[in-house]
């Protein structure tokens, strides 16, 4: 294939994915993966630079996920979110690992990758659904966001700890990561607020963030680790910098624009190219079983706790906590690139991840959306009272 044709086709896929997403109201990431899978099964292969860019896109997505976390919200809902988030992570991890290792006959590391990939909850899906439905400021929305953070933190820890190969370079990676996170937390406001940098067309603030993430990637590769956890923690700590002033919020919006327009679509399209539909067809029974195991484990981990802490939205909470997308794809790509899982296993896992992003979300929105819950009424009443007091 001509050298310039592959980027042209990928650019076309990214644009078409945006149009389809806007038309049918489905997450653009799901459409990008689907179109990438279609192109890959027709013979399109990613170029080397695309593979690296896709890895960078996964790290940026992880960072952006961290910036979406409201630390004040977490403190308010800590007990409920910690219990729900922890069980939402541990039960699918254990259930999928046990099945793939003891029943399906996967290797130990392949089973760990499977458990990690299917233990996730998609922060991107949960966040977008809550905003679109007006539930982001309700108790249900707050609990969901805080619980999702706990679940995804477990995934990031699992990827960083379970598959690390301790060497001197690993210590260097950990040391560099901790120092970068500490210094960025202390000094980033100077970068965002400095008059030399603000409102410049060359976007020095975005380049600053990219430099930090590229440093994580370099030292992670050097130490044979993964940059997911430090990128997630950096996003979490820098979230307060992005919320301090209107200017810093503009920087975050610009960062999202650059990431979502160019970099993260390559991550999802390239990830889709590696899916073999014919291989999924040969392992269709495994695909169905893993999907059922994930949903059932999520149900056991979330439903009964949600029934206790937020009964009006217990099924809605359970279904949205069952979704997976970004972190599940990242874990699967990591497993494939590291040689821990085969092409068949990768295709099955990403297929289950996509199915878990679409089906539970559709069911939750169609039949269990808590539009008239007492919980929302209470939030709205409280806001009204506060408004009266301020006046």
Residue 244's domain comprises 5-390
Report the run of H or E that residue 44 belongs to, with start and end.
Answer: none
pLDDT at 87: 94
pLDDT at 199: 64
pTM confidence score:
0.76
**What are 121-157's pLDDT values in tens digits?**
887 778 767 766 677 667 777 788 888 888 988 888 8
Higher per-residue pLDDT: 311 or 248: 311
Average pLDDT of the residues in 374-382? 42
3-state percent helix, strand, coil for the chain, nearest multiple of 5: 80, 0, 20
Here the CATH number for the domain that contains residue 256 is 1.20.1530.20
pLDDT at 380 over 70: no
Report the run of H or E that residue 262 belongs to, with start and end.
Answer: none
Average pLDDT of the residues in 183-204? 73
DSSP sequence for 301-354: HHHHHHHHH-GGGHHHHHHHHT---HHHHHHHHHHHHTTSS-HHHHHHHHHHHH
Question: Distance from CA of residue 64 to its chain's centroid?
Answer: 9
Name, in order, each residue with C-beta under 8 angstroms of 125's C-beta and a sequence gap of 6 or more.
27, 320, 323, 325, 357, 361
Token pair for 370: 């808590």
Give percent above pLDDT 70 in the chain. Answer: 88
Please say whether the beta carbons of 193 and 247 come within 8 A. yes
Cα distances from 352 to residues 25, 176, 284, 328, in angstroms, run 20, 35, 11, 9
Name, in order, each residue with C-beta under 8 angstroms of 376's C-beta and a sequence gap of 6 or more.
135, 138, 140, 370
Higher per-residue pLDDT: 190 or 180: 180
Domain count, the chain: 1
Phi, psi of 274 (to 5 degrees): -85, -5
pLDDT at 360 over 80: yes
Q: Give dist(CA 134, CA 379) in Å, integer.
A: 12
* b/e code 293-320 from CB counts within 10 Å (16+ = b): bbbebbbbbbbebbeebbebbbbbbbbb
* Mean pLDDT (the chain, rounded): 82
Q: Give dist(CA 5, CA 350) in Å, integer.
A: 26
Angle at 269 between CA 363 and CA 207, to 5 degrees: 110
pLDDT at 379: 40
Q: Which of 150, 22, 133 is nearest to 90 (CA)?
A: 150
Name residue, tokens 């997505």: 61
**What are 259-280's pLDDT values in tens digits?**
888 888 888 888 888 888 888 8
**What are 73-127's pLDDT values in tens digits?**
777 778 888 999 999 999 999 999 999 999 999 999 999 999 999 998 887 778 7
Q: Give dist(CA 234, CA 217) in Å, integer.
A: 13
**What are 22-77's pLDDT values in tens digits?**
888 777 778 888 898 899 889 888 888 888 888 888 888 878 877 777 777 777 77
pLDDT at 389 over 50: no
Burial class (CB in 10 A: 0-12, 13-18, 19+), 130: buried
Read off the pLDDT band of 341 (50, 70, 90): very high
Helical segments of 120-227, H only: 123-133, 139-162, 168-193, 204-222
**What are 204-260's pLDDT values in tens digits?**
888 888 999 999 989 888 877 778 778 888 888 887 777 766 666 777 788 888 888
């Amino acid at each position: 294939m001509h050298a310039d044709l592959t980027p042209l086709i990928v650019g076309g896929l990214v644009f078409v994915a945006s149009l389809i997403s806007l038309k049918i109201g489905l997450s653009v990431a799901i459409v990008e993966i689907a179109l990438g899978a279609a192109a890959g099964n027709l013979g399109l292969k990613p170029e080397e630079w695309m593979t690296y860019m896709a890895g960078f896109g996964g790290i940026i997505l992880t960072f952006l996920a961290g910036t979406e976390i409201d630390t004040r919200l977490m403190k308010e809902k800590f007990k409920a979110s910690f219990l729900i988030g922890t069980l939402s992570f541990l039960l699918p991890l254990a259930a999928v690992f046990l099945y793939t290792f003891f029943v399906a006959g996967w290797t130990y590391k392949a089973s760990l990758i499977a458990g990690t990939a299917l233990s996730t909850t998609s922060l991107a899906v949960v966040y977008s659904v809550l905003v679109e439905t007006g539930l982001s400021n309700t108790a249900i929305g707050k609990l969901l966001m805080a619980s999702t953070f706990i679940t995804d933190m477990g995934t990031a820890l699992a990827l960083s700890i379970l598959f690390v190969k301790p060497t001197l370079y690993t210590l260097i990676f950990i040391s560099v990561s901790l120092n970068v996170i500490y210094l960025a937390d202390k000094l980033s406001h100077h970068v965002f607020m400095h008059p030399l940098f603000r409102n410049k067309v060359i976007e020095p603030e975005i380049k600053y963030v990219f430099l930090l993430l590229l440093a994580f990637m370099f030292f992670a590769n050097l130490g044979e680790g993964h940059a997911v956890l430090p990128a997630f923690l950096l996003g979490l700590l820098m979230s307060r910098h992005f919320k301090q002033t209107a200017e810093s919020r503009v920087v975050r919006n610009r960062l999202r624009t650059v990431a979502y327009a160019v970099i993260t679509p390559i991550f999802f399209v390239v990830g889709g190219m590696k899916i073999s539909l014919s291989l999924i067809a040969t392992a269709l029974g495994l695909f169905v079983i893993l999907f059922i195991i994930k949903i059932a484990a999520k149900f056991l981990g979330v439903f009964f706790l949600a029934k206790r802490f937020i009964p009006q939205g217990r099924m809605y909470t359970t279904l949205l906590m069952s979704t997976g997308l970004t972190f599940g794809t990242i874990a699967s790509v990591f497993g494939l690139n590291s040689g821990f899982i085969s092409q068949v296993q990768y295709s099955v896992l990403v297929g289950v991840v996509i199915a878990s992003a679409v089906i539970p979300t559709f069911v939750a929105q169609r039949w269990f959306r808590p539009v008239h819950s007492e919980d929302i009424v209470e939030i709205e009443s409280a806001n009204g009272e506060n408004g009266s007091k301020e006046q």
